[in-house]
Amino acid sequence: MDGVEAVDKLMSERELLIPVHGGYRHLKSFRVAQLVYDLTMRFCDSYVGKRSRTHDQMVQAARSGVQNIAEGSQASGTSKKMELKLTNVARASLEELRLDYEDFLRQHGLPRWERTDPRRQSLVDSRPATADDVARWAKRLHGEAEQGGRSGPGGLPKEIGASTTSTTSTTRAVQKPPPTYPEIAANGALVLIAVATSLLERQLAAQAGSFEKEGGFTERLHRVRSQNRPNPA
């Protein structure tokens, strides 16, 4: 065996032992989780007190989602078990963040949009790639609501969750105010978190299937050693 053949054999064994890994930037789950992180930073700076413990918890939960997806991808080359563990931590972190956004809406008397609300789908259909894309969607949604005549002559109520009323000569009808920016931003974040967690659940199922079928580093090491063991004479 000449030098070139020896190197080729060594490289093929290395690829078999440690498969290609670390391409997390191409994972859709990573990109959506990163968008959630950027959006959460903006949301907390705007609507949650910067000295509040909730501010730090929400930002850290969002960051944990991103970081653990990346770390799991990096670890996959030598430990499928660790990849599964870290991906599951990412999913759990985003679930924690989901509860924080739901708490914000509840505590401020703001509605959480139903799963069938067309505004949820409008965000998904807009395919936002950056926090600025989400901001443009929110501005458009807010403008459409105002143009619908639901805000009244005074525009948006300043207080979060405030209501407006319309009086006629015969009846007093309570009008539903247009959504405030905190309502739109929190519900938009919940939509993106739902997308990210759905992607992670599929990712976990694929990782578990791969681990069950191919095993981890120990199993690959055993196969390589078995292939290289000289045949008995």
- pLDDT, tens digit (0-9, with 9 covering 90-100), for 96-125: 999 999 999 999 999 999 999 999 999 999
Residue written as token pair 């959460």: 40
Give the pLDDT of residue 221. 44
**Pick from 146, 167, 199, 218: nearest CA to 28:** 199
Count Cα atoms within 13 angstroms, Cβ side, for 197: 16
Residue 166: how many CA atoms within 13 Å on its side-chain side?
Answer: 11
Same domain, residue pair 74 and 53: yes
Distance (Å, rounded) from C-alpha 50 to C-alpha 230?
A: 66
Whether residue 145 is found in the same domain as residue 198: no
The answer to whether residues 55 and 100 belong to one domain is yes
Q: Which domain holds residue 136?
A: 118-151+164-177
Q: What pLDDT score was predicted for residue 23?
A: 77
Q: At what angle do helices 80-107 and 28-47 cross, to 10 degrees?
A: 30
Distance CA 196, CA 95 (A): 10
For the chain, list residues with pLDDT below 50.
Answer: 6-7, 9-20, 150-173, 216-217, 219-225
The two tokens of residue 68 are: 């653990």
Residues 229 and 197 in one domain: yes
Same domain, 104 and 58: yes
Residue type for position 171: T
